[in-house]
Structure 1
Amino acid sequence: MARERNRNGLAGSMEMRGTPSTTEDVVGARAAPPGRTSVIVEPEEAIVPSKAARRYCAVEPGAEQRTASVREAILPLLCFTAVAVVVAVLSKSLVVRAAVPIALGVVLVALLVRAAAKRGGGKLGVDKRGVSLDGHRLFFHAAAGRPRLLFSMREPFGMTLVASPRRDRMVAVWSSPEGLFQVGASFQGAPRRALGALFDRAFTMSGDEAALEAIGPDGVALELSASDFSSLVFAVEDVDPACVERLVLSDARGAPLTLDGRELVVGERRFDLTAPLEWRPFVFQEAFGSAVAVYQGTWVRQGANETVLVALLPSILPFEPDEEGDLDRCLLRDMRLMAASPEAPPSREVRVAIDRLFVLPVRAALDKAPRASQQPTRARA
């Protein structure tokens, strides 16, 4: 089913996307309020980025691929031109000498028209849309109107990177008390190879194209060039290096659901990730009339605290090898974290809905925690 979005185009931090019935039927609570991008209350002069703020202009989705295609068209043109010149010089026929320049002109015009069509709207800065980073503040710039302050990095926030299995697309997702904000980029050729370290930190979204969308607060796709995307990610990481291990979300009732690398907080339950705990992934299904929904669960228990983080299970597509024919270590890690056996549906009292964007980051953090020496079988509903 189509993925629902709020009026700002952002998915809710705890949204159960594609649910065939209400989330209340699945997790025993309403779906969380959609991610917000409301402006932080500050003095009027404080919510405008300074002239020194770094701007990152939006591009049309797919602009970089089209630019690469235009570059690829130049080589055949050069080869054709060289052959035509040689033929025109060596040929003794006046007809050939006259026809070659005409043919060359026709091909040149056709290629220029095709390049212009592919390039249309894909130039940087075609409008005022984009984002800017002003010290510790991140702003969104719509095509018209005042910049919107998304969040201040003086407060805890998280930055999660998700990528396609082919490693040709990446989305940065910022989570904060103000909601979620996403920016995407496509990577081809040299930019992709030059940013291997960035992909090493990204989690794979398999069979879930909606999760790789990046919709701005104005409801329009927000894409950056590969260079601007990487520059923005590294700049934010410089402000707070710990943000890559942090999630700042809330559950369906507004209670905190946060992760900071050392502790997982789910409502009133706290799980110390430096102490032994039990966890495992599993899948379960529930019927809604004639439809059946399949979910992925992440069961966690430490002492008296127990919870199950629940999200819809995306369609699983085969992971594809990279250009060298190998699966990188992050793909292998994500494949291992996704592996789960079927179980009975968990009790509704322990279920907490989580956006599937964040299932792998949570599991990766749990995977690093020490495991309890004995893991009794979880009580089933």
Structure 2
Amino acid sequence: MSLREGAPRTRGAPSSKLADGSAGGPGRGARSFAAITPGAGAGATKAASRDYVLPLLLLALVVVAVVQNLVLRVTVPLALATAAVALLVRGSRRRSADAGASRGICVDGHGLFFQPESGPPENVVPLAEPFGMTLVTSAKRDRMVAVWSSPEGLFYVGSTFEGPARRALGALFDRAFTAVGDDAALEALGPDGAPLELLPSDFAALVFAVEELDPACVERLVLSDARGAPLTLDGRELVVGERRFDLTAPLEWRPFVFQEAFGQAVAVYQGTSIRQGGSEAVLVALLPSILPYEFGEEGELDRSLLRDLRLMQAPPEDPPPRDARVAIDRLFVLPVRSALDKAPRASQQPSRARA
């Protein structure tokens, strides 16, 4: 019961200059963001290699000064010096490889481009067409993924935040939706199947650059259901197949959970029932495990997390009829519910006599 997804869904050393706007690629004014490899964002591997060099050389000098055995005085320092040189060479090769890498992201007014390590860039999110950008974060607020939805499918870019970056980019977390108990939602792989992650500063710059091109994208979803029918949201209207729901007019919606048995297994689903006039739809997605989970720094509950926890609350109900269900990726359940929550409720409208 999943949506049609595009490219699969994040860490390392800055890459070199990306594509320069050749035919079909980003233009000359494009902004480039280099992908990083796991663990290299802080240069941990290189620093570790350099940190071992000096101790090895000092140890070699100590052996020369202290050891009396002539053979040991020659062979041990030689071995230590060789190891130190090997570390320096390996670090140099890694730096050269990093400098020669070209994998990353480019953005201009025409699209969001994925630049593989070799080959031409690929326009994964055409920005001339309607597209959506959704931010998803962990409950600990140490991880965030940006998900772009478009007619081309879904495209993911991620980043990991530590204390200073978390505080400096707090505004992003205020706008993100929480993936509680759903680690898979926080994965980010490029079209080549490798992790696609940016440094926190580059991640924020990319998000702001796309939002500058289309401020409304943060309230938009461009999806399709399992049958290929449109499932879109633009802040003012929710389209589910042939049904349209005006989010500026009164409507009714409710969240609920239900379960179904498949042989010896039981699947638990989360449903979102929507009704407006004669139109009704039930959006259904698998329910991730929501306990246990950890909060962010000092266990704080920020406004967005409180909102998401409220939107997650749902009573159990009987399963809805199968022909009424519309599958939606669980990643987008909270964004849809948040938009519905902002719409006026039909049950809260005053009667004509009262008005």
- Range into which the TM-score falls when normalised by the shorter chain: 0.7 to 0.9
Match status 1:222 vs 2:193: no
Match status 1:64 vs 2:41: yes
Q: Tell me by how many angstroms 1:46 deviates.
A: 4.6
**Structure 1 residues 185-241: Cα deviation after superposition (integer angstroms, max 9, x where no partner):** 111121111000001111000111111110111111111111111100000000000
Q: Which aligned pairs between 1:261-340 and structure 2 lie closer than 5 A?
A: 261-340=235-314
Q: Distance in 2 between matches of 1:319 and 1:68?
A: 30
Are the aligned partners of 2:139 and 2:296 in contact in 1 as well (CA < 8 Å)?
no
Q: Distance in 2 between matches of 1:35 and 1:69?
A: 35
Are the aligned partners of 1:311 and 1:356 in contact in 2 as well (CA < 8 Å)?
yes
Match status 1:367 vs 2:341: yes
SS of aligned partner of 2:346: coil
Q: Distance in 2 between matches of 1:297 and 1:188?
A: 34
Q: In the alignment, which residue of structure 2 is the partner of 1:131?
A: 105
* Letter in structure 1 aligned against 2:33: Y
Match status 1:212 vs 2:186: yes
2:6 alignment partner, one of 1, 22, 35? 35
SS of aligned partner of 1:308: strand
SS of aligned partner of 2:297: coil
Q: Tell me by how many angstroms 1:325 deviates.
A: 3.5
Residues 1:310 and 1:70: Cα distance change in structure 2 (over 3 Å): farther
Total equivalences in the alignment: 315
Q: Distance in 2 between matches of 1:70 and 1:49?
A: 34
Q: With structure 2 as the length reference, what TM-score do the two structures score?
A: 0.79
SS of aligned partner of 2:28: coil
Q: In the alignment, which residue of structure 2 is the partner of 1:187?
A: 161
**Structure 1 residues 331-375: Cα deviation after superposition (integer angstroms, max 9, x where no partner):** 111111111111000011210000011000000000111111179
Q: Which aligned pairs between 1:19-58 and structure 2 lie closer than 5 A?
A: 32-35=3-6, 46-58=23-35
Q: Distance in 2 between matches of 1:217 and 1:293?
A: 30
SS of aligned partner of 1:184: strand
Are the aligned partners of 2:181 and 2:293 in contact in 1 as well (CA < 8 Å)?
no
Sequence identity (%):
67
Residues 1:325 and 1:131: Cα distance change in structure 2 (over 3 Å): same
Are the aligned partners of 2:4 and 2:153 in contact in 1 as well (CA < 8 Å)?
no
Q: In the alignment, which residue of structure 2 is the partner of 1:196?
A: 170
* Letter in structure 2 aligned against 1:192: R
Q: Distance in 2 between matches of 1:69 and 1:343?
A: 55
Match status 1:177 vs 2:177: no
Q: In the alignment, which residue of structure 1 is the partner of 2:208?
A: 234
Q: In the alignment, which residue of structure 2 is the partner of 1:243?
A: 217
Q: With structure 1 as the length reference, what TM-score do the two structures score?
A: 0.74
| Residue segments in structure 1 that go unaligned for 5+ positions in a row | 1-14, 17-31, 38-43, 75-94, 100-105, 376-381
Q: Tell me by how many angstroms 1:66 deviates.
A: 6.5
Are the aligned partners of 1:62 and 1:186 in contact in 2 as well (CA < 8 Å)?
no
Q: Tell me by how many angstroms 1:45 deviates.
A: 6.2
RMSD: 3.5
**Structure 1 residues 285-317: Cα deviation after superposition (integer angstroms, max 9, x where no partner):** 011111110000011111111111000000113
